[in-house]
Chains A and B, each alone.
Chain A
Amino acid sequence: MAPFYKYGFFGDEMSLVLAFVLGTGFGFFLERAGFGSARKLAAQFYLYDMSVFKVMFTAIVTALLGVTYLGWIGWLDLSLVYLVPTHLVPQVVGGLVLGVGFVIGGYCPGTSVASLATGRIDGLVYAFGIGAGTLVYAEVYPAIKDFVNSNDMGQVTLPEVFDLPWGLVVFAVVVIAVAGFSAATFIERRIGDRS
């Protein structure tokens, strides 16, 4: 019964080995998609290369359909897959800040690691920036602690919050994603032709 680790099929040491192996797959596909390059990543925000949107949402839809089906046939215990608790306002603010940082810096933490691994100096510098930012964050944390922990909604999913069946939300996500991909390709062609 999955998740295997939570059912005691293997211990912490093996879990760390798997972390590395899974990370390898993660890094491989990130680089395959071209996300080791800041220019390709930033292009998303200039509308002439919507790969970030396409890759991200394809990955989400794939994994979402996967957990849905595996849970449905009873092979995966979805309640044992860790869900990060929602703190709505801090996460909204965090998202905005992250988006700004993305366009200024050209990466996100995961892609910066992929980038520096393939030799990009800007990726390396970016990673140091994250380290420095983390230090500063740790220092100011006591002052902003209350804000950071505000709006605790616990572990909630979209179906729960909108009181809809899980399957319906999955279907909606798939439809929106496919429609989004068509629109993205259309936009790419229009902007690409113009530039």
Chain B
Amino acid sequence: MKLPALTLNQKLACLALALGVLALFSVPHRGPVVTLDTRELALIVEKEVDHVTPSELAGWIVQGRSDYRLVDLRAESDYAAYHIPTAENVTVAALPEFPFLRTEKIVLYSDGGIHAAQAWMLMQAQGYRAVYTVLGGLEGWKDEVLYPALPAQAPAADRARFERAAALSRFFGGEPRAEGGAVAAAPMALPKLAAPAPSGAASAVAPRKKKKEGC
């Protein structure tokens, strides 16, 4: 049986309809289900390239760098009470849907570091590559930046380093502890949120693009 010859337009129409029918089953949007490359992630974790120390972070903030986004993963009330300057509040639940740019550096922190580590895993699974956690979280920030301690019998090199840390600490509204004895057993209170925003650091949370992206 001979099939009738189809014109070009008719062939195109058939192709379109076939593709359209197949498209009925399509699911083009990424859902919440992701795939993990366990080997790659295990290597990253082991190499510890995904950490930022609180002192490093403090340095970035003072320099006014705006090439990263600092994310506070705690609840809103905790964030309002105190947060590291220039941090934005995104809870872990809101994290997967949050519209981060794929090309920006994201630094996560939570109280101790467990939530930050878990959130780090979530973001890596979604394909974000430039994700970091603050080593020690907010507790680490308190110990290293806000209330750096110097033991009584410290060598000269340590003293020099302590002076620098002390300056940083005062900048953020903290209190350096020079006497070894004052290693407090009671938790140190966090400074009020009047910590000065260094010039330029505010732009870290400023609008990304000033010009329109539309047509």
A and B touch in the complex (CB under 8 A): yes
Q: Which residues of A contact B (CB under 8 A)?
A: 1, 6-8, 61, 65, 67-72, 74, 76-80, 82, 84, 165-168, 170-171, 173-175, 177-178, 181-182
Partner of A80, one of B20, B21, B23, B102: B102
Q: Does B77 contact A (CB under 8 A)?
A: no
Classify chain B: how many residues form its interface, as a range: 20 to 34
Q: Does B24 contact A (CB under 8 A)?
A: yes
Known A-B contacts A175-B20, A178-B16; the reply to A78 vs B28 at CB < 8 A is yes
Residues of A contacting B9 with CB < 8 Å? Answer: 181
Partner of A178, one of B13, B30, B214: B13
Q: Is the CB of A79 within 8 A of B213?
A: no
Known A-B contacts A65-B23, A171-B21, A177-B16; the reply to A84 vs B30 at CB < 8 A is no
Partner of A71, one of B16, B19, B29: B29
Mostly, the A contact residues are helix
Q: Which residue of A lies closest to B215 (CB)?
A: A84
Residues of A contacting B127 with CB < 8 Å? Answer: 1
Q: Is the CB of A171 within 8 A of B23?
A: yes
Q: Is the CB of A78 within 8 A of B29?
A: yes
Residues of A contacting B38 with CB < 8 Å? Answer: none
Residues of A contacting B19 with CB < 8 Å? Answer: 65, 69, 174
Residues of A contacting B20 with CB < 8 Å? Answer: 65, 170-171, 173-175
22 A-B pairs in the complex with CB atoms less than 8 angstroms apart? A6-B101, A7-B102, A8-B103, A65-B16, A69-B23, A72-B27, A72-B28, A78-B28, A78-B29, A79-B29, A80-B102, A82-B214, A84-B214, A167-B25, A168-B24, A170-B24, A171-B23, A171-B24, A174-B17, A174-B19, A174-B23, A175-B17
Q: Is the CB of A8 within 8 A of B102?
A: yes
Residues of B contacting A170 with CB < 8 Å? Answer: 20, 23-24, 26
**Given A65-B19, A71-B29, A170-B26, 16 extra CB contacts under 8 A:** A6-B102, A8-B103, A61-B16, A69-B19, A69-B26, A72-B28, A74-B30, A78-B28, A84-B215, A166-B29, A167-B23, A167-B26, A168-B24, A174-B19, A178-B13, A178-B16
Q: Which residue of B lies closest to A6 (CB)?
A: B102
Docked Cα-Cα span, A175 to B24, in Å, equals 12
Residues of B contacting A68 with CB < 8 Å? Answer: 23, 26, 28
Q: Is the CB of B13 within 8 A of A181?
A: yes
Q: Is the CB of B24 within 8 A of A167?
A: yes
- The CB with the most chain B CB atoms within 10 A, among A61, A77, A168, A170, is that of A170
Known A-B contacts A174-B16, A174-B23, A175-B17; the reply to A67 vs B28 at CB < 8 A is yes
Docked Cα-Cα span, A80 to B103, in Å, equals 12
